[in-house]
Amino acid sequence: MVTTQSADGTEVVYERHGDGQPLILLHGGMAPREYWHPVLPYFDEYGIVIPQRPGFGTCLADLAETRADEVLDREVRYVQTLADTVDGDPILFGHSYGALTAVEAATDVAVEAVLAYEPAVLPDGYRKEADLADRMATLIDEGERQEAVKRYIEQVLHPDGIDNLDAWLAEWSVWPDCVKLADEVVRMNRAVEQYQLPSTLDVKADVLVMTGTNGPEFLRESAREVHGVLPHSRLVEFDGVSHSGPSEAPQRITAEVGAFLRE
């Protein structure tokens, strides 16, 4: 593990694997750094950087109080620090909320390319009805923190339903420790619910936007919308792959990524 600090004193902790072109992997909400380990064998020519994003990942994350309208700015500053730490312009690869962060950061940070798997952007119609943050907050206020996190899992990770949630949780490596992250997940979801995709995202780098047919339909729709507001973007849809694409189908995802980067 490597530790550095941003200009405002924020501690940045990350794994470093190998040498070569820096490739920064940004995980989504509640996923640990280990989420990215399945893709590592396919990126051995790159210098992989896997940060512990502030407030997310394992329960060792810094859960500093941050308003929902500050969360995304905090994440972008965090990526800026990482980009300044590595040699040369990095490639950003983000999943879900990490993908939204990667795209937004690339409007301010010099990067070689951006890889975004199902950015956590809500289509307008869906965003207006979104109430996950409120429902989670109510459960937390009632002392039901585990139930609050379960609502997130049901709506984001298993939107098509799950037969036995408790059995699934028993096999999930971060359960129940991740329950400590419930307040930060509420802030993250409020940030997503408040975020409105602009008519243009001023990203100078080429962007690969990816989605899977087995994930939430609203994320497939949002992937298409994100692709539409980027000046240099390619959209790829993976048949039979869910929202957890990079860890679920690492060979397929990284093959597409490799072809994109070589071009």
Residue range of the domain that includes 236: 2-122+197-262
Q: What is the pTM (predicted TM-score) of this model?
A: 0.90
Torsion angle of C-alpha atoms 103, 106, 111, 116, degrees rounded to 10: 0
pLDDT over 50 (residue 76): yes
Residue 235 lies in a domain: yes
Cα–Cα distance, 87 to 258 (Å, whole number): 21
Q: What are phi and psi of 76, to 5 degrees?
A: -65, -40
Mean pLDDT on 17-24: 92
Which of the pair, 72 or 137, is modelled with greater confidence? 137
Residue 209 lies in a domain: yes
Determine which of 123-127, 136-140, 202-206 has the lowest per-residue pLDDT on average: 123-127
Same domain, 135 and 88: no
So what's the pLDDT on residue 220?
A: 94
Which of the pair, 7 or 240, is modelled with greater confidence? 240
So what's the pLDDT on residue 57?
A: 44
Q: Mean pLDDT across the chain, nearest whole number?
A: 88
Listing DSSP states for 53-78 in one string gives -TT-SSTTS------HHHHHHHHHHH
Residue 213 lies in a domain: yes
The pLDDT tens digits of the residues spanning 178-203 come to 888 888 889 889 999 999 999 999 99
Domain count, the chain: 2
pLDDT over 90 (residue 65): no
Which of the pair, 66 or 57, is modelled with greater confidence? 66
Same domain, 13 and 85: yes
Burial (0-12, 13-18, 19+ Cβ within 10 Å), 58? middle
Residue 251 lies in a domain: yes
240's tokens: 């039979």
Same domain, 110 and 134: no
Please tell me whether residue 144 adopts helix, strand or coil conformation. Answer: coil
Determine which of 71-80, 147-156, 165-174 has the lowest per-residue pLDDT on average: 71-80
107's tokens: 């409007």
Residue 225 lies in a domain: yes
Which residue type, as a one-letter code, is found at position 221?
Answer: E
Residue 192 lies in a domain: no
So what's the pLDDT on residue 63?
A: 45
Same domain, 50 and 179: no
So what's the pLDDT on residue 34?
A: 78
CATH number for the domain spanning 210: value is 3.40.50.1820
Q: What are phi and psi of 103, to 5 degrees?
A: -65, -45
Residue 191 lies in a domain: no
